[in-house]
Amino acid sequence: MNMTTLARAILLTLGLLAQPVLADDKDLPVPADEFVYCTVCHGVQLMGNPIIEAPRLSEMEDWYVERQMMAFKKGWRGTHERDANGIEMQPMAAALDDRQIKEVATFVSATRSQIPPQTLVGDAANGALLYQSCAACHGATAEGNQSLGAPALRRLNDWYLARQLRNYRDGLRGKNSADTYGVQMAATAALLRDDRAIRDVVKYITNLPTEESHR
Amino acid sequence: MDTNNLSRRRFLGLIGAAGGSTAVYQVSRAMGIMQDSGPVAMLDLQRAAGSGKKVAVLGAGIAGLTVAYELERAGYDVTVIEASKRLGGRCLTLRHGDLVDELGNGRICNFDDDPEMFFNAGPARIPGHHMRVLHYCRTLQVPLQVKANFNRMAYVHEQEYNGGKPVRIGRYLADSRGFLSELLYKAVDKNAFDQPLSEEDKERMLEFATSFGDLNPNGIYKGTRRAGYKSGGFRTPAEYHSAMDFSELLNSKYWRRVYWTSQNPDWSEPLMEATGGMDNIIKGFVRNIRSPILSNAQVQSVHKRQDGVDVVYNHKGERRQLRADWCFNSIPSHFMVGIPNNFSTDYATGLAAMRHSNFFKIGLQMKERFWEREGIYGGGTDTDQMINEIWYPSHGIHGKKGVVLGAYTFDPNQSGFFERMTPEQRIQYAAKCGDNIHEGYSGYVEAGVTIPWGRMNHMMGCGSHLPGDAHDRYFKLLQKPDGHHYMIGDQISYHSSWQEGAFASAENALLDFDARVRDDAAVSNLG
């Protein structure tokens, strides 16, 4: 496949072409100046930008955002030399104080954008079997469970989910013993035998029914 | 019709009425009115018909400000929307107190509060054939000065060459030409060519080789005074450098890397720079533009209509919409993927296929101009260390202090190496590299800025290009409008990463736009 066809195929699957507008965007949050930084990479309303490899964050749970920002800030995440994307993110969190991290979490959870299109090929049926070990924490429909500290997974970019599963498996994330949830997740990700298993489980997750994002 | 009185412009108007905008465009090219290099004709844009035709310009860099400047003069109601708090895009000059707006690593420039202490973090060089830059500098009255880019007194430095000791570029060049000439001389002398040379040609070739490399009468290179003085030459007799070892010279990598620096048209001396900082070009535009230029205004969506373009942007904590008749968009292509739009499929595909580069620069304020004591005035030293280059300022000669370029990397891996450090670590690293070239270099460093363009706010990269066959497929498409929307910026030129490319993209869009406007006017006149 030549570059052009490849680029086109990627775009079509990523749904980057002719993005429809959200029906009514009057209520969308306008980021405070200090949080415009987030949108530079993660896109308008944190819709994600696969070219910059910045995932969609729209409507992510504020408690989960806060925890991950703290993980970046403490260097639990985004410090492994092979975690290029994490390294890019890490200083962003490190530059914020605890109050700003709470505020950015509130902003992130208020953003809205379309559910991202699927880009990976995988066997959802096999993924369903693999997902059983995930369901205990993340819920049968991957809706998340705050009391267990497990975020929703359904509206994340599939390429981002797959990358994070690989990061957990390969020791790029969840290696610091103080990062309780991360360590737990790394142990679970180790159950996924290979990249194919990762693609299958991600396929299953992104296929799960989801009520249309709040609008 | 009296064709003798038919002006070129009127002729083009008639062609436009008959053949549409592309006809005007093509005929203009054929008539030599639009030149791609060489003197630039002033854009002679048709005045806006009536009033209130709105133009949205996205991005206040070189391309956006050019469009704003020209269309304001043509009577349009122009609004410039810039995401950053700063105008100028990558045309950035850093001085005392300026914010270096790197994501996660924001720093304030700690140079002395002195107009001579500045660093061109983006474009820094203007060659004589970049006629558009020069045209606008003349028009906007931006003073220029000569900037030495290449200096035979500066050094070639390689860790594995000449025991890691720097060699003057002039000596390196003289010896390499000498050895090359000697080989040529021998080959000619022995008739070692497929086609025998005529006696006359042979004679000339031998003379050429002798002169090119400064060979002795027997065609042997024994060193040359072109390599520079080893000692003396004024009060005492001159002693010249002897020839270096040829195989050692071949072992060096300088010839592979930047031997041709001064032969690249974009780097051929004499180059120029804006006196006092390259951003004086931006200030020149701002002085001459009355239309609103909104900073801290980030575009949220771009949607084409049948007869215009709607732009939604955030400004002062509010979401606003600009219902424009035309839109000129210089937002980096890699950001457009994260901004909702309704571009046509091919157009969006082309934009998303673009790949951006991530150049990296360091500027170091030195408390003494120690390089001048080594006979170096301007130009640059080349090294195979991660910093690549050291540039010495062409301004402020014999002043107390100066700002040198302490690193300039183009390769993504090299830039990434620096990006992963904190600004302080980068400066420390670059200072250490300098110690291998100039004795006591790091001790002179008293302030510094680091600019990784791949990490700069509202940039996340610099010049973009379409890789492989994507260029053939999409570039010409992106040079054309999608409805009433034009992409501009150096990304839409054959000279990405250069200001001339940004100017050329603006000119390209404005000429197409003007042809359409004239076309419409001609049609309505006929109707």
CATH superfamily of B3-87+280-356+462-526: FAD/NAD(P)-binding domain (3.50.50.60)
Scan for tokens 């995401």, then name that residue: B83
Length of chain B: 527
B104·A90 Cβ contact <8 A: yes
Q: What is the ipTM of this complex?
A: 0.84
B321 vs B159: CA distance, rounded Å: 57
DSSP-assigned letters across all residues of B4-31: GG--HHHHHHHHHHHH-HHHHHHHHHHT
Looking at the structure, give the CATH architecture of the domain made up of residues B167-252.
Up-down Bundle (1.20)
B326 vs A48: CA distance, rounded Å: 27
Task: Look at residue A23 in the predicted model and tell me its pLDDT.
Answer: 41
Task: Look at residue B36 in the predicted model and tell me its pLDDT.
Answer: 62
Q: How far off is chain B from A105, nearest CA to CA, in Å?
A: 17
Task: Look at residue A18 in the predicted model and tell me its pLDDT.
Answer: 38
Q: Using pLDDT thresholds of 50, 70 and 90, give the confidence band for residue B57.
A: very high
Question: What percent of chain A stands above pLDDT 90?
Answer: 81
Report the chain B residue with the minimal C-alpha distance to residue A14: B337
Which sign does the torsion angle of CA B58, B63, B69, B74 carry? negative
Q: How far off is chain A from B141, nearest CA to CA, in Å?
A: 34
- pLDDT over threshold 80, residue B256: no
User: Residue B352: which of A11, A41, A48 has the nearest Cβ?
Assistant: A11
Query: Which of A5, A24, A30, A73 to mutate to probe the B interface, most B CBs <10 Å?
Result: A30
Buried b (16+ CB within 10 A) or exposed e, A46-67: bbbbbbbebbbbbbbbbebbbb
DSSP one-letter code for B192: -
Q: How far off is chain B from A190, nearest CA to CA, in Å?
A: 28
Closest CA to B375 of B225, B169, B175: B169
A33·B337 Cβ contact <8 A: no
Q: How far off is chain A from B66, nearest CA to CA, in Å?
A: 24
Kindly state the average pLDDT of the residues B48-54: 83
- pLDDT over threshold 70, residue B4: no
Closest CA to B460 of B84, B79, B68, B118: B84
Report the chain B residue with the minimal C-alpha distance to residue A48: B338
Q: How far off is chain A from B356, nearest CA to CA, in Å?
A: 10
B349·A17 Cβ contact <8 A: yes
Q: How far off is chain A from B517, nearest CA to CA, in Å?
A: 27
Task: Look at residue A24 in the predicted model and tell me its pLDDT.
Answer: 53
User: Residue B317: which of A28, A30, A93 has the nearest Cβ?
Assistant: A30
User: Considering only residues 68 to 97 of chain A, which have any Cβ-Cβ distance to chain B shorter than 8 Å?
Assistant: 84, 87-95
Q: What is the pLDDT of residues B149-195, one digit of tens each?
A: 999 999 999 999 999 999 999 999 999 999 999 999 999 988 887 77
Kindly state the average pLDDT of the residues A175-190: 96
- The Cα-based distances of B41 to A201, B19, B32, B35, B37 in angstroms read 61, 24, 10, 8, 11
Task: Look at residue B252 in the predicted model and tell me its pLDDT.
Answer: 87
B93-153+358-455 topology per CATH: Polyamine Oxidase; Chain A, domain 2 (3.90.660)
Q: What is the pLDDT of residues B374-432, one digit of tens each?
A: 999 999 999 999 999 999 999 999 999 999 999 999 999 999 999 999 999 999 999 99
Q: ∠ CA A152-A157-A159 to the nearest 5 degrees?
A: 125
Q: How far off is chain B from A73, nearest CA to CA, in Å?
A: 11
Q: What are the chain B neighbours of A3 within 8 Å (beta carbons)? A: 353, 467-470
Mean pLDDT for chain B overall: 91
Kindly state the average pLDDT of the residues B59-64: 98
Lowest-pLDDT range, A61-65, A100-104, B268-272, B393-397?
B268-272
User: Residue B103: which of A37, A48, A49 has the nearest Cβ?
Assistant: A37
Task: Look at residue A16 in the predicted model and tell me its pLDDT.
Answer: 46
User: Considering only residues 120 to 159 of chain A, which have any Cβ-Cβ distance to chain B shorter than 8 Å?
Assistant: none
User: Residue B105: which of A26, A28, A91 has the nearest Cβ?
Assistant: A91
Kindly state the average pLDDT of the residues A36-62: 96
Q: Using pLDDT thresholds of 50, 70 and 90, give the confidence band for residue B261.
A: confident
Q: What are the chain B neighbours of A111 within 8 Å (beta carbons)? A: none
User: Considering only residues 319 to 378 of chain B, which have any Cβ-Cβ distance to chain A shorter than 8 Å?
Assistant: 319, 334-335, 337-345, 348-349, 352-353
Kindly state the average pLDDT of the residues A146-170: 96
B345·A18 Cβ contact <8 A: yes
- pLDDT over threshold 80, residue B40: no
- pLDDT over threshold 70, residue B352: yes
Task: Look at residue A214 in the predicted model and tell me its pLDDT.
Answer: 40
Question: What percent of chain B stands above pLDDT 90?
Answer: 81
B288 vs B286: CA distance, rounded Å: 5
Q: Using pLDDT thresholds of 50, 70 and 90, give the confidence band for residue B62.
A: very high
B295 vs B84: CA distance, rounded Å: 6
Mean pLDDT for chain A overall: 88
Q: What is the pLDDT of residues B198-245, one digit of tens each?
A: 899 999 999 999 999 999 999 999 999 999 999 999 999 999 999 999
In chain A, the domains with their CATH numbers are 3-15+26-110 (1.10.760.10), 124-207 (1.10.760.10)
Q: How far off is chain A from B74, nearest CA to CA, in Å?
A: 32
Q: How far off is chain A from B289, nearest CA to CA, in Å?
A: 26
B337·A50 Cβ contact <8 A: yes
Which sign does the torsion angle of CA B57, B451, B377, B179 carry? negative
Kindly state the average pLDDT of the residues B359-383: 97
- The Cα-based distances of B154 to B171, B174, B214, B261, B382 in angstroms read 10, 14, 22, 13, 8
Closest CA to A79 of A164, A173, A182: A173
User: Residue B352: which of A45, A51, A93 has the nearest Cβ?
Assistant: A51
Lowest-pLDDT range, A181-185, B22-26, B260-264?
B22-26
Q: How many CB pairs (< 8 A) connect A and B?
A: 123
Query: Which of A35, A40, A97, A100 to mutate to probe the B interface, most B CBs <10 Å?
Result: A40
Lowest-pLDDT range, A12-21, A179-188, B447-456, B518-527?
A12-21
User: Residue A41: which of B298, B416, B460 has the nearest Cβ?
Assistant: B460
- The Cα-based distances of A167 to A183, B40, B132 in angstroms read 12, 54, 49
A4·B468 Cβ contact <8 A: yes
Kindly state the average pLDDT of the residues A2-20: 47
B445-452 sheet: strands from edge to edge: B167-168, B155-157, B380-383, B389-391, B402-409, B360-366, B445-452
B209 phi, psi to nearest 5 deg = -60, -40
Q: Is B390 helix (H, G, I), strand (E, B) or coil?
A: strand
Length of chain A: 215
Q: ∠ CA B277-B278-B281 to the nearest 5 degrees?
A: 115
Q: What is the pLDDT of residues A198-211, one digit of tens each?
A: 999 999 999 998 76
B318·A30 Cβ contact <8 A: yes
B267 phi, psi to nearest 5 deg = -120, 10
Scan for tokens 């030549």, then name that residue: A2
Each domain of chain B, given as residue ranges in start order, spans 3-87+280-356+462-526, 93-153+358-455, 167-252
User: Considering only residues 389 to 418 of chain B, which have any Cβ-Cβ distance to chain A shorter than 8 Å?
Assistant: 416
B340 vs A20: CA distance, rounded Å: 7
Kindly state the average pLDDT of the residues A2-18: 48
Task: Look at residue B52 in the predicted model and tell me its pLDDT.
Answer: 84
B103·A41 Cβ contact <8 A: yes
Report the chain A residue with the minimal C-alpha distance to residue B313: A30
Q: What is the pLDDT of residues B112-130, one digit of tens each?
A: 999 999 999 999 999 999 9
Q: Is B139 exposed, middle or buried (0-12, 13-18, 19+ CB in 10 A)?
A: middle
- Strand pairing partners for B147? B271
A3·B469 Cβ contact <8 A: yes
Q: What is the pLDDT of residues B290-316, one digit of tens each?
A: 999 999 999 999 999 999 999 999 999
- Strand pairing partners for B94? B119
Q: What are the structure tokens assigned to B41, written together?
A: 């004709």
B478 vs B476: CA distance, rounded Å: 5
Q: Is B437 helix (H, G, I), strand (E, B) or coil?
A: coil
Task: Look at residue A52 in the predicted model and tell me its pLDDT.
Answer: 92
Beta strands in B250-339 (DSSP E): 271-274, 293-294, 298-305, 308-315, 318-324, 326-329
Scan for tokens 């200072």, then name that residue: B431
Lowest-pLDDT range, B255-264, B410-419, B497-506, B508-517?
B255-264
B30 or A27: whose pLDDT is higher? A27
- The Cα-based distances of B464 to A176, B357, B460, B475, B495 in angstroms read 38, 6, 11, 11, 10
A51·B300 Cβ contact <8 A: no
Q: Is B57 helix (H, G, I), strand (E, B) or coil?
A: strand
User: Residue A94: which of B104, B343, B349 has the nearest Cβ?
Assistant: B104
Query: Does B96 contact chain A (CB < 8 Å)?
Result: no
Count the helix, strand and coil residues of chain B and give each as a percent rounded to the nearest 5. 40, 20, 40
Report the chain B residue with the minimal C-alpha distance to residue A18: B342
